[in-house]
Amino acid sequence: MSWDHPEIRDLLARALAEDVGPGDATTEACVPEGQQGSGYFLSRQAMIVAGTPLLELIYDQEEIEVVHRDGRMVDAETVFARVRGSARRLLTLERTALNFIQRTSGIATNAARYVEAVAGTGVQVLDTRKTIPGLRRVEKLAVAVGGATNHRFGLWDAVLIKNNHVDAAGGVAEALERCAGAGLPVEIEVRDVAELDEALAAGADHVMLDNFSPPEVASAVRRINGRAQVEVSGGITLETIRAYAEAGPDFISCGALTHSAPAADISFRLD
């Protein structure tokens, strides 16, 4: 996972083409050609900085100075990056840069809150595939900056047997048997204690407890008794994650890390 990835470079190019089109009419009318300028990115809230490598890719013809690198918690009204170059380009690139850095810093800040909420429990907070289409690589990188852990990237790098797979396969044991030769890590989602017992009997070594309450998770963890790794998922919020963590699972996966992360409040200003 790298910010300087061909998919991300292509994403940035498409974002700029979408915004600029054949030209920035306002800037070209207002700003003399050849005028130089400088500007800075300013946090308007306390936040985790994330996505600064994207600024370096977007401003590839400018002089960019990153004052606070990814992972740094900054207060409101903190300058975390500066850029110098063509005044026209600084203004033309402004919105695309802000759209990305607000999203990535917002996700990192949100993820950090979830990680902090389970501090001391030994539980790992995982992200999910609930990302904006086309932005998954960027969003998962931002999750990692915030201190949470990336779950599978897509459908190809791990087997996760969910409820519909179980139903389509004819049951828990049947689904596990069909996936035994996949050559990938295998995890299975269970909806109740009966399915949990069936999964354990079939040799599952990683189970996901779907929409269990914290007391039900605690009971299931005792029932499993170390025979499998335990993940909890389904409707986990910042208000409830601590109770789930204290119930004793190994992992908690939260779609809210990405799908419910508010954009960070960031401004770009010309000097």
Q: Is 140 a catalytic residue?
A: no
244 within 8 A of 236, measured Cβ to Cβ: yes
DSSP helix/strand/coil, 189 = strand
Catalytic residue among 56, 174, 192, 210: 210
Catalytic residue, candidates 70, 139, 187, 189: 189
Residue with tokens 């607000």: 102
Which residue out of 162, 174, 197, 250 is catalytically annotated?
162
Residue from 72, 84, 113, 130 carrying the catalytic annotation: 130
Provide the strand spans (E) within 29-176. Answer: 36-43, 47-48, 63-66, 73-74, 79-86, 124-126, 159-161
Is 95 one of the catalytic residues?
yes
208-217 as b/e: b if 16+ CB within 10 A: bbbebebeeb
Catalytic entry in 95, 129, 137, 191: 95
The residue written with tokens 């049951």 in the block is 171
Residues 101 and 93: beta-carbon distance below 8 Å: no
Q: Which positions are catalytic?
A: 95, 130, 162, 189, 210
